[in-house]
């Protein structure tokens, strides 16, 4: 194909940097990895943000958004997340992206800073001292971390997107080798195949009500003993004055016969803007395992966050308390406390 280059009509570059300090303690046992312990860690992340748009001769608009993310010293850094959209005048678009699905899975719970994590389920049942339970109950990464194609637009007062990734295991999502996980050839050695995601965010501003729904399915090609990985999330939030309340329900199925990590999670939260500078948030999360073996205890988490707006930046303090889940090998319920201080500045 012969494609003529065209300068973008608009191009912007920005950046933000986040620094975190977390400390936590695990008081659920007496000795060893699962005994009483405490820890702390410091994290830093720098993002170079880019966006641009250009009017095309056919009446459509080409839009680009991208991010170079530096959050470690590994060979894989920086991580480039991007999306190119070819958008019509009515907002309908076709997109080509890597990690672009992330923005379409926003929680409806009004978190002031980091969301509550799942200490037991996110790490396979072993509480990690120092993590503080702030990791977040992540969605299936099948679609948005691989190269994907999307169609989206506006409907019913909100935005929708459907994303498809032909390969969810390769680094670039485009491996067509029949001896690896490709999502096209169902080879005997493949464990994961294609991924599909549908997301809808309804913003009914006249009512102060927002609706979010996401469903993700990741094909498993390793044999009949396992099924597809599935996750569904639905949430609502409502704003009245300086108060925003919201809730999310998440159902995750790992596709295995043993249902090792199957679970349901319910999150409810409230954020109150005390002033233009200060916002306070309170949250409760319950995660219920749905394992074949049964006998697992629910994980209950409570968190309080205070955020301070610095204009171009912000600082937030979060305190979380965990009581609940342990896997079959660790029968003692977790008792975990954590503190997180997060500072973010934009440039």
The answer to whether position 207 is within a domain reads yes
In whole numbers, what is the pLDDT of the chain averaged over residues? 74
pLDDT at residue 15 greater than cutoff 90: yes
Q: Is 169 exposed, middle or buried (0-12, 13-18, 19+ CB in 10 A)?
A: buried
The answer to whether position 9 is within a domain reads no
- Integer Cα distance of 308 and 275 in angstroms: 9
Quick one: which H or E segment has residue 279?
Answer: strand 278-289
Confidence of residue 214 (pLDDT cuts 50, 70, 90): confident
pLDDT at residue 173 greater than cutoff 60: no
Of the candidates 184, 158, 160, 157, which has an alpha carbon nearest to the alpha carbon of residue 170? 184
- Integer Cα distance of 259 and 289 in angstroms: 9
Cβ proximity of 180 and 172 under 8 Å: no
Give the SS3 label for residue 71. coil
Cβ proximity of 13 and 50 under 8 Å: yes
DSSP 173: S
Of the candidates 287, 286, 294, 247, which has an alpha carbon nearest to the alpha carbon of residue 263? 287
So what's the pLDDT on residue 211? 92
The answer to whether position 266 is within a domain reads yes
How many structural domains comprise the chain? 1
Higher pLDDT, 302 or 106: 302
Structural domain boundaries, residue 338: 14-346
So what's the pLDDT on residue 291? 66
The answer to whether position 7 is within a domain reads no
Quick one: which H or E segment has residue 299?
Answer: strand 299-309
> Strands (DSSP E) along 99-242, which ranges?
147-155, 158-165, 195-204, 209-218, 229-240
Quick one: which H or E segment has residue 340?
Answer: strand 334-346
Higher pLDDT, 156 or 344: 344
Measure CA 167 to chain center. 19
So what's the pLDDT on residue 258? 65
pLDDT at residue 316 greater than cutoff 90: yes
Whole-structure pTM value: 0.79
Over residues 159-168, mean pLDDT: 81
Please report, for the domain that includes residue 67, its CATH number: 2.40.160.10
The answer to whether position 47 is within a domain reads yes
pLDDT in tens, 104-147: 556 799 999 887 765 443 333 333 333 334 434 444 444 556 68
So what's the pLDDT on residue 31? 46
pLDDT in tens, 323-333: 765 444 445 55
So what's the pLDDT on residue 279? 97
Over residues 304-331, mean pLDDT: 79
The answer to whether position 44 is within a domain reads yes
So what's the pLDDT on residue 38? 64
The answer to whether position 6 is within a domain reads no
* 12-21, 50-59, 85-94, 162-171, range with the lowest pLDDT: 162-171
The answer to whether position 3 is within a domain reads no
Higher pLDDT, 233 or 187: 233
Cβ proximity of 120 and 287 under 8 Å: yes
């Amino acid at each position: 194909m012969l494609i003529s280059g065209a300068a973008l009509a608009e191009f912007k570059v920005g950046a933000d940097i986040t620094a975190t300090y977390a400390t936590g303690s695990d008081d659920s046992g007496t000795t060893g990895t699962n005994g009483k312990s405490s820890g702390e860690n410091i994290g830093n992340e720098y993002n170079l943000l880019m966006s641009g748009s250009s009017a095309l001769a056919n009446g459509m608009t080409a839009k680009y958004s991208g991010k170079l993310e530096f959050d470690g010293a590994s060979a894989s850094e920086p991580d480039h997340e991007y999306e190119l959209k070819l958008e019509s005048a009515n907002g309908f678009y076709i997109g080509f992206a890597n990690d672009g699905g992330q923005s379409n899975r926003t929680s409806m719970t009004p978190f002031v800073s980091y969301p509550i994590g799942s200490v037991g389920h996110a790490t396979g049942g072993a509480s990690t001292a120092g993590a503080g339970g702030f990791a977040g109950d992540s969605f299936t990464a099948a679609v948005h971390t691989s190269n994907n194609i999307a169609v989206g637009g506006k409907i019913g007062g909100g935005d929708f997107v459907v994303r498809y990734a032909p390969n969810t295991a390769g680094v670039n999502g485009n491996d067509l080798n029949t001896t690896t996980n490709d999502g096209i050839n169902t080879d005997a050695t493949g464990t994961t195949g294609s991924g599909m995601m549908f997301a809808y965010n309804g913003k009914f501003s006249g009512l102060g009500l927002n609706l979010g729904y996401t469903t993700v399915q990741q094909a498993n090609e390793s044999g009949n003993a396992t099924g597809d990985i599935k996750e569904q999330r639905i949430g609502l939030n409502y704003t009245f004055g300086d108060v925003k309340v919201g809730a999310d329900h998440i159902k995750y199925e790992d596709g295995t016969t043993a249902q090792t990590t199957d679970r349901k999670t319910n999150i409810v939260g409230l954020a109150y803007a005390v002033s233009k500078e200060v916002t306070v948030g309170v949250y409760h999360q319950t995660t219920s395992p749905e394992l074949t073996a049964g006998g697992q205890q629910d994980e209950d988490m409570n968190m309080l966050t205070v955020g301070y707006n610095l204009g171009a930046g912000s600082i937030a303090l979060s305190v979380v308390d965990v009581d609940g889940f342990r896997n079959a090998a660790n029968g003692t319920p977790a008792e975990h406390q954590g503190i997180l201080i997060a500072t973010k500045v934009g440039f």
